[in-house]
Amino acid sequence: MTTRAEFLGSIRREMDKTRGLFEARSASRPADAGGAFEAVRRQMAERWPQALECFREEFERVAGVFHRVARLDEVPGVILRIAEERQAKTVLSWHPEALGLDLRGSLGPEGLSVTVAPDGDPDAATRQRHRDEAARAEIGVTGVDWALAETGTLVLVSGRGRPRSTSLLPATHVAVFDRERLLESLEQVGIMLEALHTDPARSMSGAVINFITGPSRTADIELTLTRGVHGPKEVHAIFVEGR
Amino acid sequence: MSDRQLKTPFPERAHAALGDAHLQEALTIATTKFIDLRKEAFADFPAGEALRDRARAIKEATLQGLDKHLERLADNIERLGGHVHWAATGDEARDIILRLCRDKGVRMAVKSKSMATEEIELNEALEAAGVKPIETDLGEYIIQLAHEKPSHIIAPAIHKTKGQVAELFSKELGGRFAADPEVLTAVARKELRQKFLEADMGITGANFAVAETGTIVLVTNEGNGRMVTSLPRIHVAVMGMEKVIPTMTDLMVFLAILARSATGQKLSSYTTLVRGPRQPGETEGPEELHLILMDNGRTRQIAGTLREALYCLRCGACLNVCPVYRQIGGHAYGYTYPGPIGILLTAMLKGTGSVKDLAHASSLCGACKDVCPVRIDIPRMLVELREHIDSEKIAPWGERVVFGLARRAMSSPGLWRLGAKLGRIAQRPFVRSGRLRGLPLLFGKWTRTRDLPPVAARTFSERWKELERP
């Protein structure tokens, strides 16, 4: 078996042989990740309305369905309509702490079965139970860490109470976000990610960050665009105007 | 590619592809569509050209500090609870995975699309060891059921019609399915969903790995990459060592141009950043994460003629525009990586001897270089490969003799003039209606499908002398 030292040693030997390479630098990063993060937040506090318009346009271009409500307590009504139109009965949601909304009280009485993700450090049995429920659920409801206007992308960071499969296994994904989540460009996302990884105060706990740009799709058979091959067939984004 | 197929010489493989009317149609439709989608994506994106320059600079800068970046990546992955394996060869990479399967009692592995695992022919090795590999990218799933190989880096089954896929699914999965992409996709969804939930191991490649954060990046449209990294208890990623990039800021530059170059999308449906196995507090994710860093011939090229090929993002754009690929398709190349970049990668992985024919399967028109998101100078490297094939005496002797004579003649004005005179006489029997046709012997191949202008009665310098006379 090759060891790390052997592997890197042979690379170094070859690197020593290279001559006259052109000068190249990788992308220049923000010197102060935390400061750059706050600067983006300040910019977006001003510019979010334009970003929202752009997000909507791009999101719809990738077959996303955009909804807009005035207040958070109108969100369950939108989810209920989506469920009714699809004759869906089972809803899976992030933990209320992570979503900012407990759907059990509002959707339960309407005849929907609502499962919320476990909080805390779930044991093996709890994890298995949640996985079985996720595999059965028809609608998955998540929050959003960043809504990227340039490409109509939802960025979701996994973690406590925020399982990665909520936006993956159910055939319909519904994401809820507000103005504070909006970003304009991939470059800004880069700044946020630098801060997320370097600043202990903003450090992430989960293992996965997903950039979601529309529903699951394929064109592998005769280049015919088909949606919902493995992941969701539909993605809905609900924008909440107020708090 | 099986040995049987490689025993057929390249010209015959290419000839067979040219005679396959169905393949010709599929290739034309697919490559034309990809070209248009890419063109539109960049037309709408004024920042694109500058980003391509930046991306190229990042790749070069990373190579200049490759050892450092790989160490950093490995340290960070281990810090997050993952395991890093170092594989000098493809055999070693395979052995590492087989040992993991044995030690962890793995019976079934789901795979997302990965050229690195194609490169090491992992599926065959897994099957031989009693582990069932299941390809989950729809295109890869189709060709796995058909026992074929991918014919395009990002659209592995473009050579199949929906009718053929319906027939294949009906036979292999039991049932009667309509030749409708919607129906067939739904069939695959149902079939594969169960496999994702049952599999013990998920195997992926890696589009990038960010050294500073220990992040493995997967780009997919179907979501199978997410399934494979979320549901099985073990995740194994196989990565060519040149895929490491320094930072998240660098990653954003690549994301902005990768999907545009490949499919014309601004971003693919899913970009998944994986940082270690399941972390404390998480409900899901694998218990174990293994990253296999693979050399397999790459290190040799750090100071070699193919260095620039180490920039490649595997987007497939150079295939679509290549006049040769568009005629013969991926299978005729005979190796894992087809198209212009594939010739270079084959030379890198299998040695120059393996591309003695393929190195000539290019018109050197430069279209590949024009569309490459990191502007890899593929034509230059192809010429250098040809030079190497000649100087190392890998080329057939007939070819070497003819080109040797041509070189002598071209470097001596006297010989050249003499050659032109002899040519004028020798060509007489073969000039018909002012064109050279049906040349004999070795030269016959040249005129089999085209003609040539004959050697002129007087050379340019002879005519020039006449003109100079008062």
What is the structure's pLDDT at A201? Answer: 61
What is the structure's pLDDT at B398? Answer: 81
Is the model's pLDDT at B5 over the cut of 80?
no
pLDDT tens-digit series, residues B301-329: 999 999 999 999 999 999 999 999 999 99
Q: Are A215 and B269 within 8 A, CB to CB?
A: yes
What phi-psi label fits residue B174: left (phi over 0), alpha (psi between -120 and 50 degrees) or beta? Answer: left
* Cα–Cα nearest to A99, from A152, A177, A157, A41: A177
pLDDT band at A75 (very low <50, low <70, confident <90, very high): very high
- In a domain, residue B5? The reply is no
Residues in CB range of B352: below 8 A, 6 or more apart: B359, B385, B388, B389, B392, B394
What phi-psi label fits residue B294: left (phi over 0), alpha (psi between -120 and 50 degrees) or beta? Answer: beta
* Cα–Cα nearest to B138, from B182, B106, B107: B182
Residue scoring higher pLDDT (B398 or B306): B306
pLDDT tens-digit series, residues B269-312: 999 999 999 999 999 999 999 999 999 999 999 999 999 999 99
Is the model's pLDDT at A114 over the cut of 70?
yes
Give the DSSP per-residue string, B439-463.
--GGGHHHHHS--BPPPPSS-HHHH
Helix, strand, coil shares, percent, chain A, to 5? 45, 20, 35
Residue-averaged pLDDT of chain A: 94
pLDDT band at B3 (very low <50, low <70, confident <90, very high): very low
pTM of the predicted protein model: 0.93
Burial of A220 (0-12, 13-18, 19+ CB in 10 A): buried
Place of tokens 């600043």: A199
Buried-state track A2-29, b at ≥16 Cβ within 10 A, e below 16? beeeebbebbeebbeeeeeeeeeebbeb
Is the interface score ipTM higher than 0.85? yes
Residues forming a β-bridge with B83? B290
With beta carbons under 8 A apart, name residues in chain B contacting A118. Answer: 283
Helix, strand, coil shares, percent, chain B, to 5? 55, 10, 30
Does any CB of chain B come closer than 8 Å to the CB of residue A243? no
* Cα–Cα nearest to A237, from A58, A62, A65, A60: A65
Integer Cα distance of B367 and B376 in angstroms: 11
User: Among residues of chain B, what percentage have pLDDT more than 70?
Assistant: 99
Fold of A31-240: Rossmann fold (3.40.50)
Give the DSSP per-residue string, A97-125.
HHHT--HHHHHGGGT-EEEE---SS--HH
What is the structure's pLDDT at B4? Answer: 46
pLDDT tens-digit series, residues B326-344: 999 999 999 999 999 999 9
Q: How far is A163 from chain B (nearest CA, A)?
A: 6
Q: How far is B394 from chain A (nearest CA, A)?
A: 25
pLDDT band at B469 (very low <50, low <70, confident <90, very high): confident
Number of domains chain B contains: 2
What is the structure's pLDDT at B2? Answer: 45
Lowest mean pLDDT among A96-105, B218-227, B461-470: B461-470
Q: What integer is the mean pLDDT of B435-441?
A: 85
Continuous segment of H or E residues that includes residue B204: strand B201-204
Residue B420 and residue B284 share a domain: no
Q: How far is A205 from chain B (nearest CA, A)?
A: 7
What is the structure's pLDDT at B443? Answer: 77
With beta carbons under 8 A apart, name residues in chain B contacting A131. Answer: 197, 231, 283-284
User: Among residues of chain B, what percentage have pLDDT more than 90?
Assistant: 76
With beta carbons under 8 A apart, name residues in chain B contacting A230. Answer: 136, 189, 192-193, 196, 222-224, 226-227
- In a domain, residue B450? The reply is yes
Residue B289 and residue B143 share a domain: yes
pLDDT tens-digit series, residues B235-260: 999 999 999 999 999 999 999 999 99
Residue-averaged pLDDT of chain B: 93
Is the model's pLDDT at A200 over the cut of 80?
no
**CATH for B53:** 3.40.50.10420
Does any CB of chain A come closer than 8 Å to the CB of residue B419? no
Is the model's pLDDT at B204 over the cut of 50?
yes
Residue B423 and residue B285 share a domain: no
Residue scoring higher pLDDT (B112 or B404): B112
pLDDT tens-digit series, residues A133-175: 999 999 999 999 999 999 999 999 999 999 999 999 999 999 9
Q: Among residues B296, B313, B341, which one ends one of the domains?
A: B296
User: Among residues of chain A, what percentage have pLDDT more than 90?
Assistant: 83
- Per the structure, the complete domain to which residue B456 belongs is given by 414-468
Q: How far is A37 from chain B (nearest CA, A)?
A: 13
Does any CB of chain B come closer than 8 Å to the CB of residue A125? no
What is the structure's pLDDT at A202? Answer: 62
Q: Which residues 87-116 of B have a C-beta within 8 angstroms of A? A: 87-88, 92, 96
- In a domain, residue B88? The reply is yes
Contact yes or no for B261/B317 (Cβ under 8 A): yes
pLDDT band at A204 (very low <50, low <70, confident <90, very high): low
Q: Which amino acid is at B179?
A: A
